[in-house]
Amino acid sequence: MAFLRASGVLLHLTSLPGRYGIGDMGAEARGFIDFLAAGGQTYWQILPLNPTDYGDSPYQCFSTFAGNTLLIDPAKLEAEGFLSAEEIEEIPGFSEGTADYGGAIELKSVLLRKAFERFRVSKKEELRGAYEVFCSENSNWLDDYALFQAIRNANELKPWNEWDESLAKRDEEALNNARGELEEEIYAQKFYQFLFFKQWNELRAYAQEKGVKFIGDVPIYVSHNSADVWCNPRMFKLNEDGSSAFVAGVPPDAFSSTGQLWGNPIYDWDEMRNENFAWWIERIRFTLKTVDITRIDHFRGFYSYWEVPGENETAEHGEWVDVPGYELFGTLKDELGELPFIVEDLGYMTPEIYKMRDDLGYPGMRILQFAFGGDAKHNDLPHNYVHNCAAYTGTHDNETAAGWYQAQFDKEGKISIYGERCLKYLGSTGEEIHWDMIRAVLASVADTAIIPAQDLLGLGNEARMNLPATTDGNWKWRLKPGELSDEIAGRLKEMTEIYGRS
């Protein structure tokens, strides 16, 4: 589908300020929408909203459908009578600027349980009716997800393939017994999801009132320890014991000399084709009910993917395996209509993959940070952009703009050839390199331009969101209260209007 000329800001919800350990869907989220509207922005791009597993990565989740309940705002629960004022005031002090997932889990699990106990005895028929409608409309994923989490909690959070064999292999009698024994916890898990989507839909409605659309994110792969794999083992290449026979990753590249071993289980694409890609249809259908536009992660993996034996410790020794990408996206279009996709066409690309992207009509991504490593024909230089693309100063996987520039100087203060090219191309002195890079992206012909919030602030790599091929210290950066000021909104709006994106 065609995109209007517009721009937006990349900021995950966990990176918002707030009192409860990580950002959430409360007042600060609405305040950020106000900032976007004041700055003339059309889009708020986020990372996946699903419940995260170990490591807190939004790309390793317990479900591709469920919402991350850590994003629920306790203040709204208090306003609706689920919590008392004292309960949300008596909280530990969390440090500003850093997400504390462990602390947030400890705090919010207690608060959510208290909210559930009050809901159980509530006489509010309208509320209970809304809950019943939610459960009915989402039963295709909610029933299995609630059961999965209930069994996982009863098994000391062990992965599903380490449960009793009858449960791991979904013996119907064992599942029925678990449904009976864990009825209350299943009820609670469904209620938590009801709260998440209630708050999300309210936030999205507020954004729509302000003229702001959400760009969501669909990771190509799912976590092995997820309801998706447990419920659909036939669709993945697994061993008899449920472990992954093969796992996903990418071969050695600029990020890592041993490649990136993501560890996600590999799809059995033949089985998915036999089922007419039904799981993908439901996944995308649900996503497009949740957000307005979707970024498709690792697009090259829909043409061919890097398959690594499950027992390997690095991604060096794998092979490329073909995927029926044309068939998949054709089926999605037949079932769902025009698809508002932006595809991540980064990494090891080939002409055939670019052709598939263009044949399908999807906009790819151009990253300004990558532009200065070649000559004037480099694909990521703004004068080489096309209308049907999404231009970024950087993404959640990159250094910040200021951090990238700072890294171009050696210990003696000598600038690299890449830094020199950047300054010459932008006509910049380097004093406000982040704004010079923002201007270049906004001025380009790209229909869509996205700026990470860190670049609006000129923050260094201490504010980097993720470093690929590493597991520690990622996903933790947060805004501090008031950092995105009226002055920044005004400057962004002026630039947005100058380049016709408002």
Question: What's the CA gap between 24 and 487, in Å, rounded?
Answer: 24
Q: Which of 171, 202, 282, 397 is catalytic?
A: 397
Distances (CA, A) of 413 to 115, 407, 410, 419, 420: 56, 10, 5, 12, 13
Question: What's the CA gap between 311 and 263, in Å, rounded?
Answer: 10
Q: Tell me if residue 321 falls in helix, strand or coil.
A: strand
Active site residue 282: no
Active site residue 344: yes
* Beta bridge partner(s), residue 296: 218, 343
Distances (CA, A) of 373 to 79, 104, 126, 422: 53, 41, 59, 9
Question: What's the CA gap between 458 and 450, in Å, rounded?
Answer: 15
Question: What's the CA gap between 375 and 136, in Å, rounded?
Answer: 57
What is the number of residues in the chain?
Answer: 502
Active site residue 100: no
Q: Which residue has the tokens 């029926």?
A: 324
Q: Which of 228, 344, 399, 447 is catalytic?
A: 344
* Beta bridge partner(s), residue 295: 217, 342
Question: What's the CA gap between 223 and 226, in Å, rounded?
Answer: 6
- Is-contact 289 299, C-beta < 8 A? no
Q: Which of 297, 345, 436, 447 is catalytic?
A: 297
Closest of 425, 415, 416 to residue 376, by C-alpha: 425
Distances (CA, A) of 475 to 47, 57, 184, 415, 461: 10, 7, 33, 29, 13
- Please list the active-site residues: 297, 344, 397
